[in-house]
Structure 1
Amino acid sequence: MPLAIKITLGILVGLAVLWAYTQHRARLHEARAEAAFPPQGQFVQVGDHRVHALTMGDGPDVVLIHGASGNLRDMTHSLAPRLADRYRVTVFDRPGLGYTDRINQTGATIRQQAELLSDAARQLGIENPVVLGHSYGGAVALAWAVHRPDHIAALVPLSAPAKPWDSPLSTYYKVLSHPVAGPLVIPFLTAFVRDARVEREVASIFDPNTVPQGYISHVGAPLTLRRQSLRANAVQRANLLSEITALQDDYDRFQIPLEIVHGTADTTVGLTIHAEPLARQVPQANLTRLPGVGHMPQHVAEDRVVAAIDRAAARAGLHPTP
């Protein structure tokens, strides 16, 4: 056998062994993450898709939708339990994240996600909710209000993208959302990136504010490193700009109360790019600016977020439990 062929075969065998080892390590990492952060709620079957939902409290319905790279634990750290004193609060994992099934392999649109969560909510007996969405979840909430207007009482976009932006997609999301590069790179991230690195990245989202005590140990950041979650999150993020661009003209149809909440120090989703133009477009919108607050108001300005939900409920004619 010629030397060149022997070398080529050796390289191929080595790559195959590396790939098998990487997939093995990835499966072990995923198993550890799911054992450490198991599902907190119940599963609702909507067609072919299983949706993970957690409900607590009693009163008018409030639905909370988490942002990119997250899961419902972001909302259960403090906000959902506090609201449960006066509301029936339901928190969902978005498709492909947490424990909700992916809708498809090409990146579930914000409309598809909104319709899936709306259908799951109806199965839980939720007919007239106040819907709060944070960050990417705010875009899903906007799509809910546009495409399911008969199934929402009021809308609270929190640090939410609402208008087109000029900044390019990051290299990270370009690679992970790529049809070839993504599936090749993602298993190596799952296998070899340490949980501590992900936790540091989560903490950086709070800048310039501090991370609440106990948040990192509660939120289940290692769940984000699972292969399915990395891929689903990346493709969703890559598609978001075009989806927001297509959605924005439909805001003129809103008839429900809007309580927009946004930090002035948010460098992830800019106040002047998103919240302020949305408030100008929708006459019944009320914009609450949070001075010095970054991208995570539900944790660092919780009182103001709760007050916005209370205003939204009151404007919609809902009456929280005293």
Structure 2
Amino acid sequence: MSDKPANPYYTGPVSDHFDGKRFFNPEGVEPGGMRDLIKWQTNGKRARWPKRVAHGPASTPPRARVDGADLRVTMIGHATLLIQVAGLNILTDPVWSPRASPFSFAGPKRVASPGIALEDLPPIDIVLVTHNHYDHLDLPTLARLDEEHGPHIVTPLGNDTIIHRALPDAKISDMDWGDRLQYWDGLSIHAEPCHHWSARGIRDRRMALWAAFVLSTPAGKIYHIGDTGFHDGINYRAAAEKHGAFRLANLPIGAYEPRWFMKGQHQNPQEAVEGFRLCNAANAVGHHFGTFQLTDEAIEAPVEDLSKALSAAAIPPTRFRALRPGEVFDVPEM
């Protein structure tokens, strides 16, 4: 009999989203299997992306800190955002590597350079890692951040094991859905459900948890989702009921075609707009597009579809912005 644990990342009690070995979305949709993957990969409908997209770096170097009522977001690329609020600098799902892949020679390749060079970052206090897919959990980037900034890494259950194996001295807090952390004056972090999945290889599917984060700050509340399916809006409604109004929601708008394969795990721009409305956010940043080609849609489709969805919902485009690498959004006060 093997001495290896059934789950190499996490051991804990059974819950409404953990069966003792794997995590799951209550009443949710599991990701497609190998047969569906092959059907998608051979459908011949993958749009051709350019090899490089010219986006300049941030027009001005990032401020060292942002205090008071100010809230600033700078797009780095894909799901990597620099959030500056309450005197703290927070990175989400940091990926500076040229590929979102376990390999340096294969896998989705970056077409847009990071909006801020790694060496030009201000001091980083907190890193949020929402789940372990390679376009969100990038160990080479985390290693550099740990060496140069020593941030506190916050991540859902099981992902801490993955990171600790590579960075044994890193400061890491793991969180289950519903948990709350308050290690910083004026800031608390809540882990909340989102509808997604996890895997680093072919044998560890759903063995680490995925989560959204809510940041409660003196400047207002921020709802950050790295990846999610719409899931009939269940999690958006729950977030609004629990946390009230948000000054800012960071919502994924890309990697959604074909719908028959992606719908359960990746919302499209129309669903993101509906989620924005349901979670009671005053402003939103759209991310998860235009950096790595993960799915079939054209590179500009998420931005174009977001514009159409906002128009149909009579929401001013200034309230829900799809930021390009290097673009800065000073979020209006509520």
TM category (shorter chain) comes to 0.3 to 0.5
The TM-score normalised by the length of structure 1 is 0.35
The structure in which a higher percent of residues are strand is 2
The structure in which a higher percent of residues are helix is 1
